[in-house]
Structure 1
């Protein structure tokens, strides 16, 4: 399926100034005086408009977007249904606080999530604002329901920037450095990392992790195992087949809540509605955000009714959680995914992107691994003929792409992974042009 959505701005890359242009440089200077230095930016350009798979900056340059605001604008920037739904809702009311005077759209989002998330068991949902907030509430729910305190997470994980979720996140710089002490009772287990595991199968990697959990934590102390079905910031690491089902089965056998952090993988991104669906894994609790509301702040915890209802009344919530504008957007996003067959579109994007990346890999042995699913694809870059991470190469390729009008992001514990997260609304033509630039970036960076 090729997207045919029309755009009010150019639908092809257009560079009319150097990057960054004069207006973006002016705004960057203002940022230094107005914004805290700890708030960084990836590209040195300032957006003025975005639609579908393209973004225009304040100097009139048009970029092809392979980042989606870090997997947020999955249905495309300014998706028509989202714009219409938010505009209509804003004209009726913008806020009441669901905990004061509730409204129907919150219920509708919860009902949809209860139906769409893996498993046909009785479920409940609570809405929040950010992915980190939802992860933190999933831990609260698991602790309340089990009466236990310990939480297990995995190597290379990213779960957020709050005090608890920083403890759950693996990478120090920039996420944790200088911000401790962190929340206690968080333990780390080894992940299945096929590229660097020396041929370990999913079942073998799960046995290794479970052995460590049992020895170092103990099942009777453990409230939850929290895992990204495909890791995001950690490098788009896809566990070997069988790893996730084995962990979920162990959790069920030991009364431990299995929590899938699908903040980055959810809502058609991976070619399934949720990444857990790929192996038929049914989480006890599933955390969603990012792609849920087309760019408006919304997140959710959805899970088994007995776990969700274990928390005392008033124990979950927040002033803005399930804001009516965000709920309207989420309903429009879910309609768009279904009506425009975006799950299937994600699978088509995977075929196109992996084919282009394999073509690059055939000519360049610095492309060590190609992985991911759907429109969540990455390449891990290494020094020629080795497994040594090559973060400088990742930075060079991304910088070249930015200068040539393509938004590309990096990630990974070693900083050596290029990640591609195009909106599912991107056209085949835009996708092809973007990867022409990516291919040129490798060629100009000194292929071996």
Structure 2
């Protein structure tokens, strides 16, 4: 890949204001801050599913702010409730506690509806949430050093999260297993792979981490038996099963959480993106013995689980409950699939449509 081309500043002939800001952004901000989806839209305002550029173009955002704005941009009920929760709280509550932080923690744990959901760790981004989940498992079993991850997942760009992203790793302790991507392999193929892994590293495996579906890789959604197989194998060998729901939580797959869609009860679940409707927040929910394996203050940092993030989580959950968002997804998900399949039939350049709920990939 020609990285120079990928990160070139885009110029639109009818966007004088946008062109100016894109050029200034490139001038002042390091290329490491750029994303791998460089639309370079210069936004003036957002509402619902729409964005308006500085030069007046109206755009439909089919990414939902990259799976962050599950309620849409500037949802009026969310904005009202967020302000009500926030009131006059300090923005940073690193060395104090506010009632809304307790409420958000309690509500998230209780929303899981199964016994392993016992405690929570807060973070400010998906990568940090993954890091804290993996830390928890590694600290719980310090004699174990092998980390198992499914190939082609995206868990983050930093630290341990980066170590388990893709299909190669600088970490010599990472081992990869296959994730279904439409190859048609039967269940016994994956069973043999897992059993061989156990034979090679018996008693040394600290955790297994996977995504419900491969999001960044192209929206590959496995058969339900796949994650149930992984959980059964983890339970059999006392291996913490970590589910990365940073992008799949809060209604994306047709349920509040993807673990409900796939019929599993992970030991640790990492949440992010849509849980706070745009405020920087992520969380790890799961087994107390894993989360409490981290010593006092070991997972703390300045902005994790602050008052603004927790206000946003509570406001988001309020709207989900009062407006019955998940029920709406269940009722309308079939319509979305039908529309996409009709487009595939109409346009021969569309090779494939993959997805579930309100999350799809189109090749």
Is TM-score (shorter-chain normalized) higher than 0.5? yes
User: Deviations 1:337-370 (Å, cap 9, x if unpaired)?
Assistant: 1111111222344322221221122244543332
Contact 1:294–1:329 (8 Å) recurs in 2: yes
Q: 1:324 aligns with which of 299, 304, 307?
A: 307
Following superposition, the deviation at residue 51 of structure 1 comes to: 1.3
Q: Is 1:342 matched up with 2:336? A: no
Aligned to 1:84: 80
Aligned to 1:287: 270
Following superposition, the deviation at residue 323 of structure 1 comes to: 1.2
Following superposition, the deviation at residue 86 of structure 1 comes to: 3.7
Secondary structure of 1:220's match? coil
Distance change in 2, residues 1:120/1:28 (3 Å): same
Q: Is 1:97 matched up with 2:85? A: no
Aligned to 1:74: 70
CA RMSD of aligned residues (A): 2.1
Contact 2:130–2:160 (8 Å) recurs in 1: no
Aligned to 2:26: 32
Q: 1:112 aligns with which of 104, 107, 110?
A: 107
Aligned to 1:210: 194
Q: How does 1:244-323 map to 2 (within 5 A)?
A: 244-323=227-306
Contact 1:189–1:212 (8 Å) recurs in 2: no
User: Deviations 1:127-183 (Å, cap 9, x if unpaired)?
Assistant: 1100000001000001112232221111111000112211111068xxxxxxxx834
Q: How does 1:279-428 map to 2 (within 5 A)?
A: 279-379=262-362, 381=363
Aligned to 1:49: 45
CA distance in 1, matches of 2:133, 2:356: 25
Secondary structure of 2:217's match? coil
Aligned to 2:17: 23
CA distance in 2, matches of 1:118, 1:258: 17
Moved more, 344-353 or 305-314: 344-353
User: Deviations 1:11-43 (Å, cap 9, x if unpaired)?
Assistant: xxxxxxx67622111111111211112333522
User: Deviations 1:196-215 (Å, cap 9, x if unpaired)?
Assistant: x1x223x3343143134224
Secondary structure of 1:38's match? helix
Aligned to 1:221: 204
CA distance in 1, matches of 2:13, 2:78: 31
CA distance in 2, matches of 1:283, 1:356: 33
Distance change in 2, residues 1:52/1:285 (3 Å): same
CA distance in 2, matches of 1:170, 1:56: 34
**Structure 2 residues without counterparts, runs of 5 or longer:** 1-11
Contact 1:79–1:294 (8 Å) recurs in 2: no
Aligned to 1:127: 122
CA distance in 1, matches of 2:204, 2:116: 26
Contact 1:137–1:316 (8 Å) recurs in 2: yes
Distance change in 2, residues 1:91/1:256 (3 Å): same
Distance change in 2, residues 1:21/1:259 (3 Å): same
Distance change in 2, residues 1:169/1:342 (3 Å): same
Contact 2:147–2:206 (8 Å) recurs in 1: yes
User: Deviations 1:34-79 (Å, cap 9, x if unpaired)?
Assistant: 1112333522321111111111111121111111111000011112
Q: 2:161 aligns with which of 162, 165, 168?
A: 165
Secondary structure of 1:157's match? coil
Secondary structure of 1:32's match? helix
Secondary structure of 1:224's match? strand
Secondary structure of 2:31's match? coil
CA distance in 1, matches of 2:302, 2:175: 31
Distance change in 2, residues 1:335/1:219 (3 Å): farther
CA distance in 1, matches of 2:165, 2:27: 31
TM-score, scaled relative to structure 2: 0.90
TM-score, scaled relative to structure 1: 0.73
Moved more, 115-124 or 263-272: 115-124
Q: Which runs of 4+ in 1 moved over 6 A?
A: none
